[in-house]
Amino acid sequence: MQVDKTIIKIANPDISPEALLSYLHIGYEDDLYEDIMEMHQQAIEIAVPIALYKPFIPEARDENIWLEGVSLIDPFVYEMLSNQDIVVAYVASCGQEIEAWSKSFGSGYDKYAADVIKQMCLGVIRTKLFEEAKEKHFCTDKTVSTINPGSLIEWPIQRQESLFNALGGVTDDIGVELADSFLLYPTKSISGIMFETDEAFHNCQLCPRENCPGRRAEYSKAGEEE
C-alpha cells in the first residue's frame, strides 16, 4: 500500500488567552498583562501551524522495521511496531510564520512568552493531527500511541533522518528543516510514528528524567528492566 502524504494546517489557531496567562502565571492586575495580550493577538493573526503525515504498512524483516524501503534499525522500534498492521509517520510544527515573529523578541520575558505561544501552536496542530489520523487510519476503539526519535536513548535523535527519508520532501512540503545536529527547525517541531495499542504508551514510561514539565506518565523501572 502506497498512500500520498497528507498536509494539514490551521490559520489563526484557537489559543486560549486564559491558558496562556495561566501558564505564564500572569494575572489581570499584573504589569505584563497588556503586553502578553498584545503578543497573543499578534500571534494568532500570524501563526499557521502545520503538519504532514503518511500511513505505512510496516514490514518486519531482519529484526528491522521497513517503511517503503527505509529501514528503522533500532531494536526498540522493532519491538514496538513489528506486530502493527499500519503505522502513521508524521512531522508537525508551530510553523515558519510564528517562528519568524518570535525572532523579534531578543531576550528576557517576552522571548520566553513567545516560546510558550509557539509551543501552544504546536499543541493545536498536534491535536488536530492525531484526531484526523486516528479517524482515517486506526480503529476508533483502540488507543493511538506514539514514539518519537530523540525522546528516548532507545531511539536516538539521529533517527530523525530515517523518518524524514521515509516521508520524503518534508522541508519542501511544510518548511520543517532537519539540521546537521538532527534538531528540527522551526524549534517547536516534532516528529514520530503513531500506532495502535490496547493501553496508552508514552515515551515518559521509559524516561528516568526527573522534574520534567512535559511528563505525561510515570517512569516505569519495570519497563526498563524488561
**Domain containing residue 156: CATH number:** 3.40.109.40
Q: Give the integer Cα–Cα distance in Å for 56 and 59.
A: 9
Q: Give the integer Cα–Cα distance in Å for 115 and 120.
A: 9
Check residue 207 and give its pLDDT: 44
Residue 1 lies in a domain: no
pLDDT tops 90 at residue 89: yes
Distances (CA, A) of 1 to 59, 141, 143: 11, 23, 23
For the chain, what is the mean pLDDT?
A: 87
Domain limits for position 93:
6-225
Check residue 130 and give its pLDDT: 93
Q: Give the integer Cα–Cα distance in Å for 189 and 90.
A: 11
Number of structural domains in the chain: 1
pLDDT confidence bin for 142, thresholds 50/70/90: confident
Check residue 219 and give its pLDDT: 38
Look up the pTM and report it. 0.85
Return the axis-axis angle of helices 33-46 and 17-24, rounded to nearest 10°.
130
214 closest CA partner among 224, 202, 201: 202
